[in-house]
Chain A
Amino acid sequence: MKKLILVALVLLFNLSFSQDYKFGKVSKEELAEKSYNNDSTVHAAVLYKECKIHYDYVQDEGFKKFVEVFERIKIYKKEGFNWGTKIENLYDENATREEKLLNLKAYTYNLESGKIKESKLKKNGIFKEETNKYWNQYKFTMPNLKEGSIIEYRYVIESPLIELDDDIFQYTIPIKKLSYQLKVPEYFRINKVLNTRASYVPEITERNKSRKFLVSYHSAFANGTANASTKFSKENLVERTYDIIETIYEADLQNIPALKTEAYVDNIGNYRAVAKWEITSIKGFDGSVTEYSTDWDQVTRSIYNRDDFGRELSKTNYYEEDIKSKLKGVNAPEEKVAIIYNYVKSKVKWNGLRGYTSELGVKKAYKEGAGNVADINLMLTSMLRYAGLDANPVLVSTRNNGIPIFPNTSGFNYVITGVSLESGFILLDATNKYASANILQENTINWKGRVIKGNGTSAWIPLTPQTKSKEIALMSVEINDDLSISGKIRKQFTEYKALGYRDAYYNVKNETIVKHFEEGKGEIEITNFTVNNKESLNKPISYTYDYTLNNEVEEIGDKLYISPLLFLAPDDNPFKQDSRTYPIDFIYPTYSKYSVTVKIPEGYAVESLPENAKIQLNGSDGEFSYIIKSSGNTLQVMVTKDLNKTLILPNEYSEFKQFFQLSFEKQLDKIVLKKA
């Protein structure tokens, strides 16, 4: 009776039922739930996630990290079934550096005729796959999954890797409740940083607590007499209990929204609610302290001091003879840069691997003609220095690597070269065959770069391109008697637009390029296609072609209608969303200019012309202009598009979209011709 009243009360107040977050204590109410907060588009939700991390000292192995995971997930729709499969990637280099997944227990719960039915995950649903030499993948998939099911699993990952992974507080489905705990023994000093770009930032508290810590180790360590000849045996094994202080980081979070990506977001991970941890120092039992990086200066220095960075940079003997002969008689610094840069590009090919540390070693890379990013760009820096130039490596983080939220060595994953010349500072990346000075791969134009000087000191430098990438088009339009159009076009591209063209078409036959250009342009035929400056990478690239086009002049009644920009006008406004959650990054500023000359066919005269227009985006952030003039039987149309702002924030989006919309519509405006 009491129970009944209680249930009635809960229903009456329409309160959410009290939930039991113990493993196995799934309630009928949770199982009966049909949707997440009445949102039918949520296919699955994490009802509870618990993550507890602590360290213990294991005899002969040292500190080990234990990550206890427990998740309770509700499946609302079939589309959410993939949440019934869990995958963990675990490191496995060898028997002593191997992460293990232990104590896996998992159940699916279903409500069947008013009763909770549980189905246990059995061995046949658990798989281990050796992904490659270093990684294993553990996967399990839950039995008896239906719409409405709840699954629960818990397991422990035991890891000899004491570094902490990023702790993820946000999934692509909502999390109703999340409980987090990280216990760090006093031997570790730790730095916590939260991703402030995320739309959800979790609150993490911090307190200290003492605990007994059982440590077993060999006495030779304790009295500092351990050396290479020390025998470790049971006899000199010492067990001691320490009273230590642990710092406990905790979070108790509710209703974490789902992370949803949108168009034009290069890496949604940059916006995920994440806690990153960095161990800044470790104190040994003998009292010795090992410091790890704490600020960017120290991060950079520790990278610089690595054998596979600083030492590789200082090697010169492998190329000295070749560079000497290449630079014979060359004095101008700009010329030296060009010769060395082109030499490295032709001599060593990028193997597709990133990283700021040399993988093969510069010498081997030079000899074999292939290497990773660091092999190539450290070699380039070294050669430039050898030639007497002020060249330095610049650490960067690619867009995939994201923007680091605190100083740590994994904040960078790429290295390029910076050269100070009297004429200015230039950035070089010799991994892309078609790149040139100050033209980097778009993926590396992210956040900022850290330049490391010869003495190991470092400083920030901007990476965002300042000069505009231009597209200049000249087009003639002649309307023939049969209302077909013929004409010529010349297009020129600079900077990133030139790189874009070369990346796409450098190795492509003209015949194929023409085919590609013809696509989407209607009934067109392109002839006499020629490209200029394909090889001169530091010059703008340009091409010209002749075209004939049918069905672009519309004859309605006795009038002719034509949109003079023809296929130069964009197909549609690419910005279709009403609003945005995340910024749009154009990376580099752009400028386009189209000059179109239209010859009016004999027997026709202008009835009306589009109006001239100028559209501005927030002052000088962007400008579009459309000017049309008529003189005799020709019309001159001039369209310019100027976009100075490269990062559009969500609150600027609607104005930005409007700017694009209006300029797009303007480009479709029609000339009306009547019979003369």
Chain B
Amino acid sequence: MRFKKSISIIAMLISLTTYAQEKLIALTIDSELKDNANAVVRLRETQIEFSSYNKMITKGKRVVTVLNASGRRNVGAHLSYDNEINIKKLGAIIYDALGNEIKKFKKNDFTDESAISSFSLYEDSRVKYLDYTPVSYPYTVEFYYETITNNTAYIPQWMPLQNYYVSTEKSIFKLIYDESVGINKKMNNLGNHDIEEINTPGQLLYIGSNIKAIKPEAYSPRFKDLVPYLQVTLNKFSYEGYTSETNDWKTMGKWMYDELLADRTQLSIKTQDEIKRLINGIQDPIEKAKIVYNYVQENTRYISIQEGIGGIQPILASKVDEVKYGDCKGLTNYTKALLDVVGVESYYTRVYASENNTVDVDKDFVSFVGQTNHVILNIPNEKEDLWLECTSQTSPFNYSANFTDDRDVFVITPEGGKIVHTKEYKTEDNLQSTKAKVSVDVSGNIFSEIKIDSEGTQYGNHNMIENASEKDKKLYYKNYLSDINNLEIVSLSHSNDKEKIVFSETIKIKGNKYASKAGIRLLFAPNMFNKTTNVPPRYTSRKLPFKIERGFTDIDEYEITLPETLEVEALMKPVSIDNQFGSYSASIEKNSENKLVYKRKLILNKGDYKKEDYKAFRDFYLKIVKHDKSKIALKTIQ
């Protein structure tokens, strides 16, 4: 059996080199691979060889046919590097649609630039990329490279489908390793793609063939959750001179604590005394932590500097104490150091932070790097653990919504590491409550005082207005209440309760001719301040499942006073909708002769849903939009 396999491998490799030539001809692409594709990866070969646990040689080749201008970004002819990565070989060849060579690029023809992230002040990462303007489409780019590095902690993941609108004809991943070192691997989202796995001792070989392009759809999960990818690590690796031998999260955490974190929390006696003075007389550890967090917010700022091991290891707490700035690692470690001084237990925690998706650290796949992009601080607590975002100077204590909430993270303790789930902001906690008193005059003008209280994730959607200039605030409310024509902001104020984590806004407005005239009637939509207007797009056949990452609740209550000369001709009927996605109710009632009360409640549930349910989801929204714009008719009393 084994014998047979190796023959097939040899046959495979031979056939690859011989039919590689035809990969350069754009015209031969199977039409199925062109569906929804702006570019086709004709061939992608990645060979990674470990001559030892601390030497990784990567040889890569990509042949990509670009079908149109949008596909240019998928050529992928760029190579990131830093001081630790030695580029041995780099080049590219451009072919026209018939496979004729048009242009050749050697290593020095690549543009070399700093590859600093937008949020950083300094990084040592650089990139070499191919700058080529296509003459016509389709065209094909053959790109090849070879690199050597002593950093073996991160092995590039194999993703046979690289992006939306890109298909893959053939993608091969080969990894050669020392059996005595061993590897750890995990294949994700295999699905029913044509992926062959031919593994032999000391070698992994994966071949993906004819994988069709997919298109993004609204509310779909993130791309990586939809496509197959392979994660691999060495059981013993080297990183910037450090060596680790770990294969479970506990020992990984122990190693990281001992090698990279321990002894980095010393602080000067002066700072220790200062922080002790601040918590003097306070016993409750959470109260102490609040004071420390506030101290960090008041005294430091976030500056990202990533260089060498500094990309992984925090700078010394004493260093942060001296310059009063740091990146997420430095500030988190500094906060921990201060908490140590006052006797509050806390742990350095690595997390994948992202606003749009809640991304977990994989419980079942242990890796040193590649799964996280941020560091926060965990304070264990009997009731519910606390999570501190140490890079923000303004965030409330223990507020992690919209960034590091509701996901598995890697908590590092002196005893070892563990995977812990961060706070989930629940549908009922993510509350936006809008209360208003409104008076309408005979010309259809409205005058109102609106009060909006936001909590949970919705706090984060509202509080950013706090420090804007007066002019920008006015413009913000004009856009927020864009449904009201000719809006005049009479006055506005907010209060930010960071203790309860509630942001309250009070806005006084005048809306000229909000109610529209239709002959002798005034038409008036009672949902003035929180109309849903956008409907999820329509798909004739939905291909992908969908997801609501965080649930929320909106409550609206408006008391409407009419002038005595107007009477109600018609009111809309109350509605109440309840389904798996959430619920919606709206009603308007006459309270007294000239007073109406409008009430509305919208709840959207967090959840993963099947593509078959998308139509029902969209219908739910269509109904909400319909009812939100429902009008009542007012008539002049004759």
A561 x B114 contact (CB < 8 A): no
Does A559 sit within 8 A of B, measured CB to CB?
yes
Name the contact of A143 in the complex, choosing from B322, B474, B517 (C-beta under 8 A). B322
Stretch at the interface among A124-132, A273-281, A453-461, A627-635: A124-132
Contact indicator B633/A132 (Cβ below 8 Å): no
| Bound complex: CA A595 to CA B134 (Å) | 44
Q: Check if A535 is an interface residue, CB within 8 A of chain B.
A: no
Within 8 A of B (CB), among A398-450: none
- If A515-B537, A522-B535 touch, whether A557 touches B633 (CB-CB below 8 Å) is yes
Interface centre among A348, A556, A672 (most CB of B within 10 A): A556
- Whether the pair B475, A518 counts as a contact (CB closer than 8 A) is no
| A328 on interface, CB distance cutoff 8 Å | no
Q: A143-B323, A370-B135 are in contact. Are A668 and B113 (CB under 8 A)?
A: no
Of A127, A145, A370, A578, which contacts B133 at CB under 8 A?
A370
Distance, CA A85 to CA B68, complexed state (A): 42
Contact of A81 among B301, B516, B570, B626 (CB under 8 A): B301
Q: Which of B149-157, B432-440, B478-486, B498-506 contacts A (4 or more CB under 8 A)?
A: B478-486
Q: Which A residues lie within 8 Å of B516 (CB)?
A: 665, 668-670
**Are A523 and B535 within 8 A (Cβ)?**
yes
With a cutoff of 8 Å between Cβ atoms, the chain A residues found around residue B470 in the complex are 41
Taking CB as reference atom, which chain B residue is nearest A509? Answer: B36
- What 1/0 flags go to A358-374 for Cβ under 8 Å of B? 00000000001110000
- Say yes or no for A79: interface residue by CB 8 A criterion: yes
Q: How far is the CB of B328 from chain A (nearest CB, A)?
A: 16
Binary CB contact string for chain A from 532 to 565 against chain B (1 if under 8 A, 0 otherwise): 0000000000000000001100101101010000
Give Cα A176 to B610, complex, Å.
Answer: 61
Q: Is A141 a contact partner of B303 (Cβ separation < 8 A)? A: yes
B566 at the interface (CB under 8 A from A): no
Identity of the chain A residue whose Cβ is nearest the Cβ of B298 in the assembled complex: A146
B534–A520 touching, CB < 8 Å = yes
Contacts of A573 in B (CB 8 A): 485-486
Q: Does A655 contact B (CB under 8 A)?
A: no
With known contacts A515-B537, A576-B478, A554–B630 Cβ distance under 8 A: yes
Residues of B within 8 Å of A85, CB to CB, are: 121, 303
Q: Which A residues lie within 8 Å of B103 (CB)?
A: 368
- Smallest CB-CB separation from B517: which chain A residue? A669
Identity of the chain A residue whose Cβ is nearest the Cβ of B469 in the assembled complex: A41
| B201-218 interface bits toward A, Cβ cutoff 8 Å, 1 = contact, 0 = none | 000000000000000000
Q: Does A664 contact B (CB under 8 A)?
A: yes
Interface string of B301-318 (1 = CB under 8 A from A): 101010000000000000
Does A525 lie at the interface of the complex (its beta carbon under 8 Å from any beta carbon of B)?
A: yes
A255 located at the interface, meaning its Cβ lies under 8 Å from any Cβ of chain B in the complex: no
Closest to B122 in A: A127
Total number of B residues with any Cβ neighbor in A under 8 Å: 64
- How many residues from A make CB contacts under 8 Å with B? 67
Chain A 116-144, CB-CB to B under 8 Å as 1, else 0, gives 00010010110101111100010101011
Listed stretches A22-30, A47-55, A318-326, A349-357; interface member: A349-357
B538 within 8 A of A: yes
Interface segment out of the listed B184-192, B382-390, B519-527: B519-527
Chain A residues, CB < 8 A from B324: 119, 143-146
Tell whether A607 is near chain B: CB-to-CB under 8 Å: yes
Binary CB contact string for chain A from 132 to 162 against chain B (1 if under 8 A, 0 otherwise): 1100010101011111000000000000000
Interface status of A16 (Cβ within 8 A of chain B): no
Give chain B residues whose Cβ lies under 8 Å from the Cβ of A263: 475
> With an 8 A cutoff between CB atoms, is B258 at the interface?
no
How many interface contacts (CB-CB < 8 Å) are there between A and B? Answer: 153
| Chain A residue contacts of B393, Cβ below 8 A | 78, 81
- Minimum CB–CB distance from B356 to chain A (whole Å) comes to 19
Residues of chain B with a CB closer than 8 A to A20's CB: none
Q: Is A77 an interface residue (CB 8 A)?
A: yes
A243 within 8 A of B: no
**Per-residue 0/1 for B600-638: is the Cβ within 8 Å of any A Cβ (1 yes, 0 no)?**
000000000000000000000010011000111100000
| Residues of chain B with a CB closer than 8 A to A349's CB | 133-136
Tell me if A482 is interfacial: C-beta within 8 Å of chain B.
no
In the bound complex, CA of A201 to CA of B632 (Å)? 55
Q: Mark A657-673, 1 if CB is under 8 A from B, else 0.
A: 00001001100111110
Closest A residue to B392 using CB positions: A78
Q: Is B533 an interface residue (CB 8 A)?
A: yes
Q: Does B491 contact A (CB under 8 A)?
A: no
Asked if A515 and B633 make an inter-chain contact with CB atoms under 8 angstroms apart, the answer reads no
Q: How far is the CB of A137 from chain B (nearest CB, A)?
A: 8
- In Å, the complex CA distance between A78 and B298 comes to 9
Docked complex Cα distance between A344 and B393 (Å): 56
Query: In the complex, how many angstroms separate the beta carbon of B399 from the nearest chain A beta carbon?
Result: 16
Q: Are B572 and A556 in contact, CB atoms less than 8 angstroms apart?
A: yes
B325 touches A141 (CB 8 A): yes
CA distance A670 to B521 in the complex (A): 10
- Interface pair B111/A369, CB less than 8 Å apart: no
CA–CA, A170 and B549, complex, Å: 44
Task: Return B481 CB to nearest CB of chain A, in Å.
Answer: 10
Q: Let me know if B475 and A576 touch, CB within 8 A.
A: yes
Write out the residue numbers on chain B whose beta carbons fall within 8 Å of the beta carbon of A78: 301, 393-394
With a cutoff of 8 Å between Cβ atoms, the chain A residues found around residue B625 in the complex are 522-523, 551
Residues of A near B468 (CB, < 8 A) are 41
Q: How far is the CB of B521 from chain A (nearest CB, A)?
A: 7
- Say yes or no for B569: interface residue by CB 8 A criterion: yes
A608 at the interface (CB under 8 A from B): yes
Q: Which residue of B lies closest to A132 (CB)?
A: B113
A577 interface contact, C-beta 8 A: yes
Which A residues are in CB contact (< 8 Å) with B303? 85, 141
Q: Does A37 contact B (CB under 8 A)?
A: no
Interface centre among B323, B521, B537, B631 (most CB of A within 10 A): B323
Q: Which 4 pairs from chain A and chain B are nearest by CB? A: A608-B519, A369-B135, A557-B570, A143-B323
With A132-B114, A515-B537 already in contact, 20 other A-B pairs whose C-beta atoms are closer than 8 Å: A41-B470, A43-B467, A78-B394, A81-B301, A129-B114, A131-B114, A132-B111, A132-B113, A146-B298, A350-B133, A352-B133, A507-B68, A522-B622, A554-B523, A554-B630, A556-B631, A559-B570, A572-B483, A573-B485, A608-B518
For this complex, 30 residue pairs linking A to B, each with C-beta atoms less than 8 Å apart, are A41-B467, A124-B319, A124-B323, A129-B114, A131-B114, A132-B114, A144-B322, A144-B323, A144-B324, A145-B325, A146-B299, A263-B475, A349-B134, A350-B133, A507-B69, A519-B534, A520-B533, A520-B534, A522-B622, A550-B622, A551-B625, A554-B630, A557-B570, A557-B633, A559-B521, A561-B523, A572-B482, A661-B486, A669-B517, A670-B516
